Amino acid sequence: MTVKWIGKRMVMGMIVLLIVSFLSFFIMHAAPGDPAAAFYGGNAQTLNAAEKERISRVFSLDRPVIAQYGTWLAETVKGNFGVSYKEGRPVSTILFERLPNTLLLFGVTMFFIIVGSIWLGTAAGMKAGSVWDKGLSTVSIVTSSIPAFWLGILFISFFAVNLGILPSSGSGDIGDEGGFWDKLRYLIMPATVIILTHVGIYARFLQESIKVESRNYYVTVARANGIAERVIRKGILRNASIPYLNYIGMTIPSFFGGSIIVESLFSWAGLGQLTVKSVITKDFPLLMGGILLTGLIVVVSLFVIDLIMYVVNPRLRKGDVR
């Protein structure tokens, strides 16, 4: 059962990646203008027809699109993402320079969001009707309505410009004078912005599913039978965590979208900032690589969440659901 289930999830992930690759390839292909001209940039006018034809042949641009896609996909799977137009270095090298930063930001923010929302959500959900309960409902709507990058601008204006205690942008570098602590100073602002704008809405979701769960019949029965409150709470929390995990999985894609913007604002040298930069400079190989790698990260993190759900939820293991 387990093997079959994991297999099914993996096939789904592959399909998603295939769609992403289709999108990135065909979108780039649909880009207006002659790729040969794009490659030569400002000097394109000096090319004559024969030279253009030669370039098309060298880059296999005269072959059918589907054949080009096949060749491209085969190379991509082997880890060859091509060479960046602007930097002249292999895309895979550039991507792997950026990957640790993105994973660091993603890991740190996700950790604090999950810990914070479980703490807040449980505190609010277990005491229905309390100040906590009502307060969290309102606060979560307010915090989730703040555009993260705007909060970032305010933070920069306050902490970097007025107080001058935190760097306004950049991501430092491990191995520089400051080492780890240096990196941490750069991480504080982008991470705080993401955490503040996200923790409320996750906490609220957990709070609501705890409230729904507490109204269930088994809770009343357990209470009537004199089962310790601590045990009941544990049961409620465990059952409420399933929709919560599902919610995290559902929102991870948009969470990534948000971090792209925050990365760009703080010039955090991660994948998101790289992707935006490649859009602006029209560096297509780099853009395609960035999109594919982001897709891969999303698929992998969804897979991890699915695995956790599989462990937490016995119904899934028995094959009841889905």
Partner 1 sequence: MRPQKALTFWCAVLGIIVILTACASFLSSYGPNDMNLDEVYVSPGEDHLLGTDHLGRDVFSRLLEGGKVTLTVASVSVLLSLVIGILYGGISGYVGGAVDTVMMRFLEALITIPSLIIILAFQAFMQGGMWSMALIIGITGWLVTARIVRSEFIRLKDAEFVKMATMFGTPIWKILFGHMLRNSVPAIFIVTLFNFAGAIFIEVSLSFLGIGVPPAIPSWGNMLYYAQNDILIGAWWIGLFPGVMIFVTILAINFIGEALKNPERRRLDA
Cα–Cα distance between 14 and 104 in angstroms, integer? 25
Q: Is 284 in the site for partner 1 (CB under 8 A)?
A: yes
CB nearer to partner 1: give 53 or 133.
133
CB nearer to partner 1: give 46 or 61.
61
> Considering just the CA atoms, what is the radius of gyration of the chain in Å?
24
Smallest gap, in angstroms, from Cβ of residue 224 to partner 1?
A: 26
CB nearer to partner 1: give 256 or 268.
256
CB nearer to partner 1: give 157 or 179.
157
CB nearer to partner 1: give 215 or 230.
215
Summarize the chain as % helix, strand, coil (round to 5): 80, 0, 20
Of 103-111, 124-132, 223-231, 298-306, the segment contacting partner 1 by CB under 8 A is: 298-306
**Among 154, 174, 221, 311, which residue sits at the site for partner 1 (rule: CB under 8 A)?**
154
| Number of CB atoms found within 10 A of residue 37's CB | 14
| Number of CB atoms found within 10 A of residue 285's CB | 19
Q: Is 164 in the site for partner 1 (CB under 8 A)?
A: no
DSSP single-letter state for residue 90? B
CB nearer to partner 1: give 54 or 130.
130
8 Å CB contact between 292 and 24? yes
**CA-closest candidate to residue 194, choices 299, 101, 277, 266:** 266
Q: What angle (nearest 5°) sits at the alpha carbon of residue 163, between those of residues 159 and 165? A: 70
**Among 31, 65, 74, 300, which residue sits at the site for partner 1 (rule: CB under 8 A)?**
31
| Number of CB atoms found within 10 A of residue 185's CB | 14
Q: Is 67 in the site for partner 1 (CB under 8 A)?
A: no
Question: How far from chain centre, in Å, is Cα 101?
Answer: 13
Site for partner 1 in 229-268 (CB under 8 A): 243, 250, 253-254, 256-257, 260-261, 264-265
Binding mask 106-135 for partner 1 (x = CB under 8 A): ------------------------------
User: How many chain residues touch partner 1 (CB under 8 A)?
Assistant: 50
Cα–Cα distance between 76 and 195 in angstroms, integer? 34
Cα–Cα distance between 303 and 79 in angstroms, integer? 21
**DSSP state string for 24-74:** HHHHHHHSSS-HHHHHHGGGGGG--HHHHHHHHHHTTTTS-HHHHHHHHHH
**Among 68, 144, 192, 214, which residue sits at the site for partner 1 (rule: CB under 8 A)?**
144
Structure tokens at 245: 């995990």
Of 56-64, 82-90, 149-157, 229-237, the segment contacting partner 1 by CB under 8 A is: 149-157
Please report which helix (H) or strand (E) contains residue 298, including its range: helix 284-312
Q: Is 91 in the site for partner 1 (CB under 8 A)?
A: no
**Among 103, 115, 161, 304, which residue sits at the site for partner 1 (rule: CB under 8 A)?**
161
Binding site for partner 1 (CB under 8 A): 12, 15-16, 19-20, 23-24, 27-28, 30-32, 141-142, 144-147, 149-150, 153-154, 156-157, 161, 168, 243, 250, 253-254, 256-257, 260-261, 264-265, 275-276, 278-280, 282, 284, 287, 291, 294-295, 298-299, 302
